[in-house]
Structure 1
């Protein structure tokens, strides 16, 4: 691995780790917004609209491509919107641990799909890292430590959340060389915003998102929990490839557990600590894996 590739890997993984941290912080803010009366649908709409406006301004200021005629943009935007909806349905009907573990089967799915697209088996390091990361997520989520709630709709929703997770990751990789990370996410969140607005506006504009006690949190979720981390993820994927980036994104539940311990005083069990260590080992294994970010065939 050349020094340039080493820098790409290092900065790519650092960007994804920062994105995971921001998502974890945004999850805590979102839980506070839900307690204040904001619904998941309202927050999903607001975060998509804020991200689209902010990314559009940056895209215009940097003078990036304004080309839109690519069907993959629609799939990307729908995946960005529906992954949130599917996950919210899953955690409503299942134990949160079950929903988290099923959603984070997405990296393994991405490894399989990437291997099929390239017509070759994934590297041993990537395969082992995916397995270790999934096991770490199982431990961090606390699966099996609480009473499990399971039903068919919840399981389908959780499975769909994993599929949409894999979809936006792969389509981000396919489009990022053409549009850049900001351009890809701008287009994706425009489509996502239009979907949410079509669903929300017939019900009226929600007053909850404009209240003084909720607006700062909503703006943070839109910028710090959506615009910035998704752009970082897209750029990171450009450096390290989709399957490795998705595995690195399993740092999110680890960061969430750490923040819950630090900010909310929630104790971590030995099993959760072991799970966190496993995820870190998986990401470290990817970091030292030899390889480069060669151009990939489009989806």
Structure 2
């Protein structure tokens, strides 16, 4: 498919769908006995290998970074990707796929708050409304007041949203000096390096060698739900506005919800649907021109 202004939206939507099916792979890996930390390491490691090979063969000159800028990638890799992945995979195990995905999408509202504090961006009435919608959505999705609340799962989901938001903050500095593909590559290299000491890599290797299914799942997790969508999103973003791309990428939680219902037979309540509408509404409002 030729990449231009007309086809770019399809790249963004495809990226969102790829991200949305991540629960299929992570839940099967969890069923094989892998912890959220180990799944996060496997995802980061496979993605790092794929991205390094891709960059080395097509964009090797972009891989060079200055020592003084390492802190940026420690931020995107450790503070964001590592924390976000561990929280997200924990939320997927403790809650439904739809709840985990929609709590992750509180990230745009968190980015907005952090941007007001760190970059002195204006706090407008529209942004205030988005915060209210995001909070209401969290209440509805979590089941507060209408059922039993899985507190650890909700906290893990919100932690994933916070970690994901940090990526936008640190990447803002990195993208001022480096290309999107270079930032993505170094982010996952740092994430994999940071997790290796806590993931019992030897145990992972033993299981992967003994159970071919585990190896396939890690590859699918790293390629289909990470490297491929990051690449598609980056390519699509070059041909359309970031705000519109962010809105189209909201197909991710919708995909996760459909996967949860169709594959894992999860129930979706009216309150949950209302929460999804509130949080996605906040995402759309944040990205619409005033």
Q: Which bin holds the TM-score, normalised by the shorter protein?
A: 0.7 to 0.9
C-alpha distance in 1 between matches for 2:8 and 2:123:
23
8 Å CA contact 1:49, 1:189 repeated in 2 = yes
C-alpha distance in 1 between matches for 2:250 and 2:145:
19
Structure 1 portions without partners, runs of 5+: 1-6, 292-299
Moved more, 191-200 or 131-140: 131-140
Per-residue deviation at 1:237? Answer: 7.2
8 Å CA contact 2:104, 2:161 repeated in 1 = yes
Give the SS at the match of 2:62.
coil
Aligned to 1:197: 196
- CA shift in 2, pair 1:16/1:164, >3 Å: farther
Moved more, 268-277 or 166-175: 268-277
Structure 2 portions without partners, runs of 5+: none
C-alpha distance in 2 between matches for 1:77 and 1:220:
21
Give the root-mean-square deviation of aligned CA atoms: 3.8
C-alpha distance in 1 between matches for 2:112 and 2:245:
10
In the TM superposition, 1:151-162 aligns within 5 A as 160-162=159-161
8 Å CA contact 2:109, 2:134 repeated in 1 = no
Per-residue deviation at 1:43? Answer: 1.8
Give the SS at the match of 1:216.
helix
Moved more, 26-35 or 258-267: 258-267
Q: Does 1:58 align with 2:54?
A: yes
Q: Does 1:26 align with 2:8?
A: no
- CA shift in 2, pair 1:240/1:122, >3 Å: farther
What's the TM-score, normalizing by structure 2? 0.75
Aligned to 1:219: 219
- CA shift in 2, pair 1:142/1:219, >3 Å: farther
Aligned to 2:260: 260
Give the SS at the match of 2:178.
helix
Per-residue deviation at 1:136? Answer: 3.8
8 Å CA contact 1:251, 1:280 repeated in 2 = no
C-alpha distance in 1 between matches for 2:115 and 2:250:
18
Per-residue deviation at 1:54? Answer: 0.7
C-alpha distance in 2 between matches for 1:248 and 1:208:
38
Aligned to 2:45: 49
Per-residue deviation at 1:144? Answer: 4.7
8 Å CA contact 2:106, 2:279 repeated in 1 = no
Per-residue deviation at 1:161? Answer: 3.7
Per-residue deviation at 1:200? Answer: 3.1
- CA shift in 2, pair 1:178/1:84, >3 Å: same
Per-residue deviation at 1:52? Answer: 0.4
Q: Does 1:272 align with 2:268?
A: no
